Amino acid sequence: MVSNNLVGSVFTKQWPEIKHIFQSEKLTKYLEKNAVGFVAEKLDGSNLAVTSRGVISSRRNILLNKPSVAELEKFKFSGVTFSKLVGIFDKIDNVRQHFQCLFPFLNVEVILYGELIQKGTATCKEDKFNYRPRGIDMGDFHIFGGGVAFEEQLTSSQIMTALKHVRGKGFSVISQENELTGRTHLVVLMNATFQKLLQQFGFEKIVKHIQSGLLEAVNFNVDKLVKNKIEGIVINFGDEILKWKGLDEGYPDMYMEQIQELEMKINVDVYKAFDQVATEARKLRETGKKNKNTDVLLARAYQSAMTKLRTLEEQAEDGDVSEEAVARYRNALEEEMMKDCHSNVEYKQKLIAFIESKIKCR
């Protein structure tokens, strides 16, 4: 049970970190004719988790616990309120009851993960991916996956039994251990079974997934990525989740080397598609010659971090304007932005000054 005084603490049932598609060691397997995955557009928003115990969390931290309707309508994150989440906890409880029936001797918590859509996109104030005409509106919570956690601490053997049990019901499931708690929860990937269950209980905003082979998915999306029509795609094959990002991805030297290593190992068309998208992204990054590459990387890392953190303005609206609040914000921003460093020495040297400049502007 999460108490209100833990709002702001680390959320320990996070959606897994997703590998870039060119980092998978199973590409040859996924390129076989009988290999089918579930492919979805990667929406450019803020990752949220909403649980059957009344918790709403960002990618990293708990934002609200058992909020009232008034709190949902007032609370702001990434510039939008949670007003469209009113009523969601009753629907999640119905999903919980479904999974509870699968584990009658355990106490089950269900988590729904999705993208909170912002005014523009997470990386731009404009609607650059044409979301609005497609019915993807500001404040929407578009679900892309789920989770099942247990109040009881299960052994690794019991987790494997639970995995097999849920998979036997038609769901696509992997396990995810939290390094802070040592506890493991189940991650329910989107497939036809899970989508049908969500729709059964009244969820309409579900990220559209289609069944596709890897070669087909690559051929279908490479042009969209090169022309910056979508932020990226996410594909899962039942035991691994992969992402393929477009021109907003920096593609540092390390990524380019990883792609080059695939040249003689995988289908030539797939390799060329990975290389084409990465090369176009790097060209775009280097077109702004008046800005140093490091400054561009810092700006992009900041935009990414702000999809996971509340701004100081949003905290101030709740009355939290203390020096401690600013210090927490500064430390959280540094931690998030360091994840996009990619061993860039100049980036590390400039990071603190960059963060201070952002704080002083507020």
**Residue extents of the structural domains in the chain:** 4-19+42-212, 293-360
pLDDT confidence of residue 143: 97
Q: Which residues of 286-324 are buried (b: 16+ CB within 10 A; e: fewer)?
A: eeeeeeebbebbbebbbebbbbbbbbbeebeeeebeeee
The whole-number pLDDT of residue 33 equals 87
| Residues of the chain under the 70 pLDDT cut | 1-5, 120-125, 287-292, 319-321, 342, 360-362
The residue type found at 358 is K
**What is the pLDDT at residue 305?**
81
According to the model, what pLDDT value does residue 289 have? 42
Q: What is the pLDDT of residues 19-72, one digit of tens each?
A: 999 999 999 999 998 999 999 999 998 999 999 999 999 988 999 999 999 999
Q: Which two tokens stand for residue 332?
A: 């959280």
pLDDT of residue 3: 44
Q: What is the pLDDT of residue 347?
A: 83
| CA distances in angstroms from 143 to 66, 73, 133, listed in the order given | 20, 20, 19
Distance CA 114, CA 263 (A): 34
**The predicted structure's pLDDT at residue 118:** 87
* Terminal-residue alpha carbon distance, the chain: 36
The contacts of residue 171 (CB under 8 Å, 6+ apart) are: 188, 189, 191, 193, 194
Determine the pLDDT at residue 321: 65
Q: What pLDDT shows up at residue 340?
A: 78
